Structure 1
Amino acid sequence: MGVTNLSKHTVVVAESQTLFRDMITNFVEDMDEFSVIGKLTNGQEVIEFIEEKEIRPYLCLLDIHMPVMDGLACAKKLKTEYPDMKVVLLSAYDDEESIETVLSVCADGYILKSSGLKEFKDILRFITEGKFVAPQKLVQYFSKRLDALLQIERESSLHFIKEHFADRTDLNKREWQIIQLLKKGWTNRMIAEELSISEGTVKNYLSLVYKKLDIKNRVELLQMLSKMTG
């Protein structure tokens, strides 16, 4: 293997379609800061290339949809074994299912094949600066999911629950804990394991809670909790 210009970031491109593979390679090679050291057709070839050549590329550009081993499986393996390696996924799709899967493999970026040349190059440069780059739709989707998770967490906080119970003073610390875990959707067994008590003890506490709140059962308690919104 020839000597690689050490001043450039080494790149491996994996794309099953020859035309796209050559186009992507040309785009990358056209940038002064990058040098393509491997053009491959699937994820398995990427893994074998790295292992056999004993070379660790700075960046791997992986098409999501490839035979043998797709880009997602390859990205997951690479980020597990080489967490510092930059991994960017290429796809023609920006649907919610694809977005969720991309987030799950901890890729450093996500580029749509419909991107313009300038956008493509800008994304690669941003990634070298340590930024995660993704299409606007992905960022918006992630933001909405994060907001929803934060809302759930906030509404499951003891402070929030106590506020909506008018800061009742007749409930003790353990009873508040159990109410909080019920609000999160936990079962009696899960609550017992979390608090290191028996399921029977959880049931006894719940019976006391029902009596204090003047309700009959778990269903009514859950209905009370479900009405709490911020």
Structure 2
Amino acid sequence: MTKHTVVVAEAQTLFRDMITSFVEDMDEFRVIGKLKNGQEVIDFIKQKEVRPFLCLLDIHMPIMDGMECAKKLKETYPNIKIVLLSAYDDEKSIERVLSVCADGYILKSSGLDEFKDTLRFIVDGKFVAPQKMVQYFSRRLDSLLRLERESSLHYIKEHFNHRQDFNKREWQIIQLMKKGWTNRMIAEHLGISEGTVKNYLSIIYKKLNIKNRVELLQMLSEMIG
């Protein structure tokens, strides 16, 4: 049976030895490197000219932490599996994990069986994370989907009761305003000048019986939420 090669990076010797022992206790894996920080991981891979199947990286390490190391590894060796280890599951830590495209996230408070199951799931190509992290990601995804839906032209037209006095360009500008775009961004996107955008906005304000951009944004917020 061919074993998957693993590099373990953990600043504290006791945890590093424990993690190594847990991994080597599994038939599927073989630890080829025990290192103290992310820079050592990068150097090890370059000097040894090996590409481990999996890197277990503690988030909090000196010189180069697990997050920075994960980012560099994914940029250079995108096929290497990256699992981050941490004692924290706060939202700030979760956001950082998602930003580096890690393959898994394991809390140090996890039980041994959970730790081993996580590694096996990751071998099968699954992303594994604590329940709190999954719930956080789900909330963020719901929020993004809701924002996308509420910024759709159809949704906006519905809440303006499909007014017939707006032309296609005016609807486009209202939609882009809802997305928070500036006049310059709108102009560049539509291929028109900023002055033309301002002219369209003046017409939109007059049709809606409002005075300025602030009132339009407030109206969009109140109507679309």
**Structure 2 length-normalised TM:** 0.98
After superposition, residues 187-206 of structure 1 pair within 5 angstroms as 187-206=182-201
**Which residue matches 1:165?**
160
Look up the equivalent residue of 1:17 and give its one-letter code.
Answer: Q
Q: Give the superposition deviation at 1:17.
A: 0.3
Q: CA deviation at 1:214?
A: 2.0
Q: Deviation per CA, 1:169-194, whole angstroms, max 9, x where unpaired?
A: 11111100100010011111111111
Shift of 1:143: 0.4
Aligned to 2:146: 151
**Paired-residue identity, %:** 81
Mapped to 2, the partners of 1:135 and 1:110 lie a distance apart of: 7
Residue in structure 2 matched with residue 68 of structure 1 by the alignment: 63
Alignment correspondent of 1:3: none
Write out per-residue CA displacement over residues 158-209 of structure 1, whole angstroms, 9 at most, x where no aligned residue. Answer: 0000000000111111100100010011111111111111110000001111
* TM-score (normalizing by structure 1): 0.96
1:130 aligns with 2:125: yes
SS in 2 for 1:161: helix
SS at match of 1:38: strand
Alignment of 1:212-223 (within 5 A): 212-223=207-218
2:47 maps to 52
Contact 1:155/1:228, CA 8 A, preserved across alignment: no
Paired residue type of 2:97 = V
CA distance in structure 1 between the aligned counterparts of 2:215 and 2:199, rounded to whole angstroms: 17
Instruction: Name the aligned partner's letter for residue 212 of structure 2.
Output: N
Could you tell me which amino acid in structure 1 is paired with residue 147 of structure 2? I
Q: Secondary structure at the match of 1:227?
A: helix
1:137 shift after superposition: 0.4
Structure 1 residue 118 and structure 2 residue 113: aligned? yes
Alignment root-mean-square deviation, CA: 0.9
Structure 1: 5+ residue stretches without partners: 1-5
Q: How does 1:94-105 map to 2 (within 5 A)?
A: 94-105=89-100
- Residue-pair matches, total: 225
Moved beyond 4 Å, runs of 4+: none
Match of 1:79 among 69, 74, 81: 74
